[in-house]
Amino acid sequence: MDIRLIVPGNVRHGSGGNKYNAKLAEHLEALGAAVETVAVDGDWPVGSPADRQRFADALDGGTTVITDGLVASGVPDEVATAVGNGARVWILSHMALADHKALEGKALAAATGVICPSNHAAGELRARHGHPRIVIARPGTEAAGEASGSEPPHIIAVAAMLPNKQQTLIVEALASLRDLPWTAALIGSRDADPGYAAGVRAAVERHGLEGRLAVTGELSGTPLERQWLAADLSLLVSTSESFGMVVVESLAHGVPVLVKEGTGAVEALGSSGAGQAVKITGPSELAEAIRAWLTDESLRTEWRHAAMTARHTLPGWDATARTVLDALTTGA
C-alpha cells in the first residue's frame, strides 16, 4: 500500500506528535507499506490561503493519506474536496483543537476516518463532535536501558517548555522540598516558547535551586538516555495530555511516574501501579506527592518494582502500525 503522511512543518521541537508520526511511518514501512512523508508549512491549525493551498497540493494525487490533525482539522473544505475526488483521507488527531471547534467537526466528518492515540483523546473528540469513526492506535515503545537511579534521588520532567506542561509549577513544588535530598532536571525545548522558558529559568534562580535543578534544553540520543538511566522518578503534570508518550518511555526504563489526574497520561500509566495520578490545582499537591515518595522507602520500592514489571509488557510500535494498517486496509 502507498501511503502519504502529511505532517505540520511549523512544529520543529521534539513533540510527542512529531515522534508518533515518525515512528508510525517507520513501522508502516517495516510492514511493507510505502510511506511518503510530506511536511506542510503554515500557521496551523487554520493557516493562510497560501497555507491551505499547500495542504491541498499535498493531498492532490494521494490515494491513501494520513494527515496530522494539527494541519487537517482547520481545513475541512480541502479534506472534503480530496475525498470527493476519490482519495481516502484519514485524520490522525493527536488531540482536539483548543479552538476552531466548528472547523474541526466539519473536517472530521469529511474525512474517511479518524485515528487517535488513546481512548482519552477519542473520548474528547466524541464529546465535542459525536464522531463515531475513530480507530485507537496507542503509541508504542522501544526497548530501553534499565535505569539504575541516583543518590540522592533524581527526578526528571521530559517535555517542551510550554505553559501547558507546567514546569513553573514543578519548580515551585520542588522549592518547598529543599529540606529533603534530591536533584532534578527539566528536559525540553526552550525554543517552543522562549518567553515561558525564560520564566522557568527565572523561577529556578529566584528559589536558589541552580545547584539542584537543571534546565537542560532539549536532549536526544546519549545525553537524554543518560538522564533516563540516572532517574528515579519522572513527572508529567501537563494541564492536558492526549496520552503522554513520555509516561510509557519512563516505564520502558523502569522509572515510575507522577501524572496529573484527569489527563490522558492516566491512561498511559494504566493499572501498572508504577506511580500515581495526582489531583493538581497548584504546587502544594505535587509537592505533597513527591514528599511522600521521597520519605517512604517502601513506597519507592513498590513503585520501582511495578515499573520494572511494566517495562516487559509494553506494546511496541509494530502494534501501533499494524492497527493503523488494518484500518486503512479494511476502512474501519
Divide the 332 residues of the chain into consecutive groups of 10 and give the mean pLDDT of each group. 90 77 96 95 87 91 89 92 94 90 93 95 91 88 94 97 97 98 96 94 97 96 97 97 95 98 95 95 97 97 97 94 94 62
What separation in angstroms does the CA of 213 have from each of 15, 126, 199, 281, 292?
A: 22, 40, 14, 22, 19
At 165 the pLDDT is 96
Q: Where are the alpha helices (DSSP H) in 166-316?
A: 167-175, 194-206, 221-230, 245-252, 264-269, 283-295, 297-310
What separation in angstroms does the CA of 63 have from each of 109, 273, 331?
A: 19, 44, 13
Supply 302's cell numbers. Answer: 513498590
Residues 289, 287: Cα–Cα separation, whole Å: 5
Comparing 2-140+316-330 with 154-310, is the CATH topology the same?
yes
Domain limits, the chain = 2-140+316-330, 154-310
Residues 195, 180: Cα–Cα separation, whole Å: 30
At 166 the pLDDT is 97
Residues 103, 99: Cα–Cα separation, whole Å: 9
At 11 the pLDDT is 67
At 12 the pLDDT is 62
- What is the secondary structure of 33-83 as a DSSP string? -EEEEEEE-SSTTT--HHHHHHHHHHHTT-SEEEEEHHHHTT-HHHHHHHH
- Which residues are paired to 141 by β-bridges? 316
Question: Topology of domain 154-310, per CATH?
Answer: Rossmann fold (3.40.50)
| 8 A C-beta contact, residue 283 and residue 169 | yes
Residues 311, 272: Cα–Cα separation, whole Å: 10
Nearest to 68 by CA among 100, 114, 135: 114
Sign of the C-alpha dihedral computed for residues 153, 307, 247 and 219 taken in this order: positive
Q: Is 165 left (phi over 0), alpha (psi -120 to 50) or beta?
A: alpha
Dump pLDDT digits (tens) for 274-299: 999 999 999 999 999 999 999 999 99
Spatial CB neighbours of 296, under 8 Å, sequence gap ≥ 6: none
CATH number of 2-140+316-330: 3.40.50.2000
